[in-house]
Amino acid sequence: MSQLRVEASTALCQLQDAGRFGVRHLGVTQGGALDWVAMRWANWLLGNALDSAVVEIALGGFSVVAEQDCVMALAGADLDAQVDGQAVAPWTSFNLGKGQQLTLRQPRQGVRAYLAVPGGFVGESVLGSCATVVREELGGVDGQGLALVIGEVLHAAGAIAGQVGAPNRRFHVPETLRPMYADKPVLDLVMGAQIGDFSGTSLFEAFNRDWTLDSRADRMGIRLLGPQLVYQGAPMISEGIPLGAVQVPPDGQPIVLLNDRQTIGGYPRLGALTPLALAQLAQCMPGASVRFRAVVQDEAWREQQAFGRRWL
């Protein structure tokens, strides 16, 4: 199988797949790629299963050298990728010859890029997934929940030594299907059970004012800065937290909970972002502005179903 040696990395470069499911009753969160859309396109380019393991690279600072000829694919953010100094465009597949170096330097558009290889990267499956969750010490290359480090060797599950091609390879994602990373995205939010317990002014401002992404953000959640939201309901008992939940702590500044979130929480919620909105949010830099758009569950489900058919 093809091998790649990590030459540069950061704590934000991790092995991810679609995440682990059916384990939240054990207190284990799901993990997985924050921008699941870009992850799928990277795998689609190589004919992989769409949930195959990829490397999630946030903000650049990542480099690998091929120890054998291989084919790879990039999707998601434009992180100024280069092979031996020659630019590599995102949303494409490309060859990396033995001894050549792929480097992703810094963001030019978006935040997170996804690197795929034929068959997906090899990682230790823990509870059905190799998704890296550092806090819980689960997943990753060796199952210990560690980010990728310099000197680590990554293996492609489906590549044969010396093989440059890949079955069912595509060379690029059609431009009409590539996500647009807007400067001020509008994020669909499915309204939740506590939404009626916020003041009327708070609800108006929640959906009609800009929210700024705080620098206090990680794979657990992103804090948003804007008007103070006032909850007027009774104290809550902790309950299960879905992906994309928009919690409002006592300071009135909402927090969007992401893939590495806690499994239960007791703060009231406006609702939850849709999966497509979460993929958009994953590509927003701290300081960016977003807006919420209220939707009902049926509308969000129809949109998700229609969107999923583009990979069929």
Domain that holds residue 103: 3-177
pLDDT digits (tens, 9 = 90+) for 45-88: 999 999 999 999 999 999 999 999 999 999 999 999 999 999 99
pLDDT digits (tens, 9 = 90+) for 178-187: 998 988 999 9
Nearest CA to 50 among 61, 41, 59? 41
Report d(CA 97, CA 2) in Å as an integer.
Answer: 11
Domain harbouring 292, CATH code: 2.40.100.10
Nearest CA to 255 among 287, 225, 285, 294? 225
Q: Kindly state whether residues 127 and 226 are assigned to the same domain.
A: no
Q: Kindly state whether residues 156 and 214 are assigned to the same domain.
A: no
Report d(CA 108, CA 77) in Å as an integer.
Answer: 8
Q: Kindly state whether residues 204 and 273 are assigned to the same domain.
A: yes
Tokens 């996500």: give the residue.
179
Examine the fold and report which residue of 143, 177, 211 is the final residue of a domain before the chain moves on.
177
Instruction: Write the DSSP string, 37-52.
Output: HHHHHHHHHTT--TT-
pLDDT digits (tens, 9 = 90+) for 209-243: 999 999 989 999 999 999 999 999 999 999 999 99
Residue 95, number of CB atoms within 10 A of its CB: 14
Report d(CA 57, CA 59) in Å as an integer.
Answer: 7
Examine the fold and report which residue of 157, 177, 197 is the final residue of a domain before the chain moves on.
177
Name the pLDDT band for 159 (thresholds 50, 70, 90): low
Report the length, in residues, of the chain: 312
Instruction: Write the DSSP string, 277-307.
Output: HHHHHTTPPTT-EEEEEEE-HHHHHHHHHHH
Q: Kindly state whether residues 60 and 203 are assigned to the same domain.
A: no
In the chain, the percentage of residues whose pLDDT exceeds 90 is 90
Q: Kindly state whether residues 307 and 233 are assigned to the same domain.
A: yes
Q: Kindly state whether residues 199 and 125 are assigned to the same domain.
A: no
| pLDDT of the residue at 31 | 97
Q: Kindly state whether residues 155 and 254 are assigned to the same domain.
A: no
Stretch 29-48: mean pLDDT, rounded? 97
| pLDDT of the residue at 182 | 82
| pLDDT of the residue at 305 | 93
Stretch 194-198: mean pLDDT, rounded? 95
Q: Kindly state whether residues 170 and 301 are assigned to the same domain.
A: no
Q: Kindly state whether residues 160 and 23 are assigned to the same domain.
A: yes
Report d(CA 283, CA 306) in Å as an integer.
Answer: 22
Q: Kindly state whether residues 271 and 236 are assigned to the same domain.
A: yes
Name the pLDDT band for 161 (thresholds 50, 70, 90): very low
Average pLDDT, the chain: 94
Report d(CA 253, CA 124) in Å as an integer.
Answer: 38
Examine the fold and report which residue of 143, 158, 177 is the final residue of a domain before the chain moves on.
177
Q: Kindly state whether residues 193 and 52 are assigned to the same domain.
A: no
SS3 state at 195: helix
Domain count for the chain, please give it: 2
Q: Are 220 and 134 spatial neighbours (Cβ–Cβ below 8 Å)? A: no
Q: Kindly state whether residues 150 and 261 are assigned to the same domain.
A: no
